[in-house]
């Protein structure tokens, strides 16, 4: 129904209420007075008293009529104002008519509730987007930003002009010009790789897009972190290479293990022919030991690339696993006088995981942290909830991994420790990837080294 038809019906409903309430009150009062007069009528001949009583009844009925009018107006006026305010909040004032003003008002507030819920849902989605969004009105004033944009340009950006939000640096000149042209309607930017310096003085490589707002005059600036996209691509590429390496390793391990067993058996037969004083027996013993080491290494490799078959149905408390892993190794390094800090966010949701393999990963990372920390240093373990998952940080002071080595530390056979096999971090990364998580390393000459692990929440 059109808006004018709805308004005319709404007015008709108000008029019916304004008439009905006073009339009902008048008839009720007048009827009650007549009934009381009939039941208590005076003896015949006292007409003067009856006339006085009748006048009083009419007077009270008139008062009731006037009071009914005031009551009707008192009900309908606030309803009308509330309905008008509700329609102003809603995007469309045209609502299908109902049977009464109460029904109309209920429908208005139902739609207001729906609109509010939709707004909250959209706001939550906007805040959790992996790209920064800045909404500008035609004058260049910031209407709204999401969390990712605040990470780039700082907080409290609303109601500020964009030239105060974006730092005035030579590297940002072309970006500022594109924003100014878009606001003037001279041209929009679909998508382009752009170098931007943020408020902290960091140079960022962003995928920038500028498009017009649909519902009002203004523009939307989208900012995607290319470093993050490249990191994800590297993880995918690494996972694909690991899958191929796993197939090759399984074949080689199988082909190596069988001959090693035969060689070991022959050496044991040869060993029996030597006396305990014969130096050749020592050489054979060492050869058998090396064969055993290669056999164990082959078995470890087979286990390493069979991680995809893990059963991840257990609901695991990450904080408990970290406490256990820390307790298992903390006492071994007491001589180094290393302080330990634990900061766990309580009430974290459980995740689907293999507790034994995750504990193995945490133990490996914690041992590395203790070994890399000099005497009097500090090791810290923290957990916190992040969107869609749990973030784990294992940090140690006074150690540094150069940037050129940070990608290599997760490769098999890479080790900075004398006598290390290099499979520790490689295995840790494999276990985390099987759990649909990620592991990264951050290192600074002043702050030390941090391994950051993110694991997804349990589905459902």
pLDDT digits (tens, 9 = 90+) for 57-101: 677 767 766 766 766 666 666 666 655 655 555 544 444 554 454
- The confidence band for 1, taking pLDDT boundaries of 50, 70 and 90, is very low
What local confidence, expressed as pLDDT, does residue 424 receive?
Answer: 78
Angle between helix 423-434 and helix 279-304 axes, rounded to 10 deg: 20
What 8-state DSSP symbol labels residue 100? S
Backbone dihedral angles phi then psi of residue 405, each to the nearest 5 degrees = -100, -10
Please give the span between the terminal C-alpha atoms of the chain, in angstroms, as a whole number: 43
CB 217 within 8 A of CB 138: yes
For tokens 């903390």, the residue is: 330
Cα 181-182-184 angle, rounded to 5 deg = 65
125 occurs within a structural domain:
no
What local confidence, expressed as pLDDT, does residue 112 receive?
Answer: 54
Same structural domain for residues 321 and 400?
yes
CB 146 within 8 A of CB 132: yes
- The candidate with the shortest Cα–Cα distance to 443, out of 345, 374, 372, is 372
Interacting residues of 300 by C-beta distance below 8 A, sequence separation 6+: 423
What local confidence, expressed as pLDDT, does residue 209 receive?
Answer: 84
What are residue 218's DSSP bridge partners? 137
For tokens 């005035």, the residue is: 168
**Is pLDDT at 332 greater than 60 in this prediction?**
yes
- The confidence band for 343, taking pLDDT boundaries of 50, 70 and 90, is very high
CB 188 within 8 A of CB 152: no
45 occurs within a structural domain:
yes
Q: By percentage, how much of the chain surpasses pLDDT 90?
A: 15
What local confidence, expressed as pLDDT, does residue 114 receive?
Answer: 54
- The candidate with the shortest Cα–Cα distance to 380, out of 395, 390, 397, is 395
363 occurs within a structural domain:
yes
- The candidate with the shortest Cα–Cα distance to 205, out of 189, 177, 178, 224, is 224
CB-CB neighbours of 274 under 10 Å = 15
User: CA–CA separation, 449 vs 58, rounded Å?
Assistant: 94
- The confidence band for 458, taking pLDDT boundaries of 50, 70 and 90, is low
Same structural domain for residues 336 and 417?
yes
396 occurs within a structural domain:
yes
**Is pLDDT at 265 greater than 80 in this prediction?**
yes
Which segments of 184-305 does DSSP mark as H helices, in order?
A: 226-272, 279-304
Domain that holds residue 206: 130-226
Q: Choose the final residue of a domain: 66, 97, 120.
A: 120
92 occurs within a structural domain:
yes
Same structural domain for residues 114 and 137?
no
What local confidence, expressed as pLDDT, does residue 95 receive?
Answer: 46
Same structural domain for residues 333 and 394?
yes
Q: What is the mean pLDDT of the chain?
A: 76
- Here the tokens at position 210 are 């500028």
Same structural domain for residues 157 and 261?
no
* Number of domains the chain contains: 4
- Here the tokens at position 425 are 């971090």
What local confidence, expressed as pLDDT, does residue 460 receive?
Answer: 43
- The candidate with the shortest Cα–Cα distance to 363, out of 331, 407, 324, 401, is 324
Same structural domain for residues 42 and 146?
no
pLDDT digits (tens, 9 = 90+) for 161-179: 888 888 888 888 888 888 8
CB 65 within 8 A of CB 25: yes
pLDDT digits (tens, 9 = 90+) for 44-53: 445 666 667 6
339 occurs within a structural domain:
yes
Q: Choose the final residue of a domain: 68, 88, 120.
A: 120
Q: How many CA atoms lie within 13 A of 276 on its CB side?
A: 0
């Amino acid at each position: 129904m059109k808006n004018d038809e709805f308004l005319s019906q709404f007015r008709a409903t108000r008029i019916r209420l304004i008439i009905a309430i006073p009339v009902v009150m008048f008839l009720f009062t007048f009827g009650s007075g007549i009934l009381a007069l009939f039941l208590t009528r005076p003896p015949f001949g006292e007409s003067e008293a009856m006339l006085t009583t009748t006048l009083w009844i009419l007077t009270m009925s008139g008062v009731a009529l006037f009071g009914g009018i005031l009551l009707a107006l008192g009900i309908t006026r606030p309803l009308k104002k509330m309905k008008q305010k509700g329609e102003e909040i809603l995007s469309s004032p045209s609502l299908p008519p109902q049977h009464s003003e109460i029904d109309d008002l209920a429908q208005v507030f139902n739609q207001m509730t729906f609109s509010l819920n939709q707004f909250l849902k959209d706001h939550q989605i906007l805040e959790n987007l992996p790209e920064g969004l800045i909404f500008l009105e035609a004058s260049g004033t910031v209407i709204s930003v999401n969390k990712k944009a605040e990470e780039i340009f700082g907080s409290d950006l609303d109601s500020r002009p964009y030239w105060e939000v974006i730092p005035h640096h030579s590297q940002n000149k072309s970006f500022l010009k594109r924003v100014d042209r878009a606001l003037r309607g001279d041209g929009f930017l679909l998508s382009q790789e752009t170098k931007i310096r943020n408020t902290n003085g960091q140079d960022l490589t962003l995928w920038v897009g500028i498009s017009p707002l649909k519902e009002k005059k203004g523009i939307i600036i989208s900012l995607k972190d290319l470093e993050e996209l490249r990191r994800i691509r590297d993880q995918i590429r690494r996972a694909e290479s690991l899958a191929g390496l796993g197939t090759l390793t399984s074949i080689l391990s199988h082909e190596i293990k069988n001959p090693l067993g035969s060689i070991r058996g022959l050496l044991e037969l040869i060993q029996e022919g030597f006396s305990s004083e014969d130096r050749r027996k020592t050489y054979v013993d060492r050869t058998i030991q090396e064969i055993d080491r290669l056999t164990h290494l082959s078995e470890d490799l087979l286990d390493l690339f069979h991680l995809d078959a893990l059963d991840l149905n257990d609901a695991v408390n990450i904080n408990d696993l970290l406490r256990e892993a820390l307790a298992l190794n903390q006492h071994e390094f007491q001589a180094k006088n290393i302080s330990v800090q634990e900061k766990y966010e309580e009430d974290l949701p459980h995740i689907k995981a293999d507790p034994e393999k995750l504990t193995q990963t945490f133990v490996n990372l914690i041992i590395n942290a203790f070994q890399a920390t000099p005497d009097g240093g500090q090791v810290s373990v923290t957990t916190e909830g992040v969107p869609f998952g749990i973030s784990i940080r294992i940090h140690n002071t006074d150690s540094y991994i150069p940037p050129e080595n940070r990608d290599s530390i997760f490769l098999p056979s890479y080790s900075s420790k004398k006598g290390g096999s290099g499979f520790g971090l490689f295995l840790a990364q494999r276990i985390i990837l099987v759990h649909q998580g990620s592991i990264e390393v951050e290192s600074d000459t002043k702050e030390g080294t941090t391994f950051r692990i993110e694991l997804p929440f349990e589905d459902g």
